[in-house]
Structure 1
Amino acid sequence: MYSKLKKTISELTQDFESIPEERKQTLQEVAKYISKELDENDTVKLNFICTHNSRRSHLAQIWTQTAAHYYDIEGVETYSGGTEATAFNPRAVAAVERAGFHVNSPVGENPRYEIKFSEEAEPMICFSKKFDDSENPEKNFAAIMTCSDADENCPFVPGTSFRKAVTYRDPKESDGTDHEKETYDERCRQIGTEMFYMMSQV
Structure 2
Amino acid sequence: MNTHLLENIRNVVLQGISEERKLVLQLLIDFIQDKVDNQEIVNINFICTHNSRRSHFSQIWAQTVASYFKIPNVYCYSGGTESTALFPKVAATLADEGFQILKLSGGENSVYAVKYDENEVPVIGFSKKYDDAFNPISGFAAVMTCSQADKECPFIAGAEKRISIPFEDPKLSDGTSQQTKIYQERSLEIAGEMLYVFSKINN
Shorter-chain TM-score tier: over 0.9
Q: Distance in 1 between matches of 2:2 and 2:39?
A: 31
TM-align CA RMSD: 0.8
Q: What residue in structure 1 maps to residue 149 of structure 2?
A: 150
SS in structure 1 at match of 2:38: helix
Q: Which runs of 5+ in 2 are unaligned?
A: none
Deviations, residues 98-152 of structure 1 (Å, cap 9, x unaligned):
1110001242111110000111111111100000000101111100000000001
Whichever residue aligns with residue 71 of structure 2, its letter is I
| Structure 2 counterpart of 1:172 | 171
- 2:88 corresponds to which residue? 90
- Specify the SS of the correspondent of 2:11: helix
Aligned-residue identity in percent:
46
Q: As a proportion of its length, which structure holds more helix?
A: 1
SS at structure 2 position matched to 1:28: helix
Say whether 1:104 aligns with 2:128.
Answer: no
Q: CA deviation at 1:38?
A: 2.1
More deviation in 154-163 or 29-38? 29-38
Which residue pairs with 2:190 in the alignment? 191
Do 1:144 and 1:163's aligned partners in 2 also have CA atoms closer than 8 Å? yes
Task: Report runs of 4+ in structure 1 exceeding 6 Å deviation.
Answer: none
Aligned to 2:8: 8
Cα distance between partner residues in 2 of 1:182 and 1:170 = 13
Residue of structure 1 in register with 2:115 after alignment: 116
SS at match of 2:33: helix
Please give the secondary structure, in 1, of the residue aligned with 2:32: helix
Does 2:28 match 1:34?
no
Structure 1: tracts of 5 or more residues without a match: none
Amino acid at match of 1:4: H
Q: How does 1:119-138 map to 2 (within 5 A)?
A: 119-138=118-137
Give, in whole Å, the separation in 2 of the partners of 1:184 and 1:108.
23
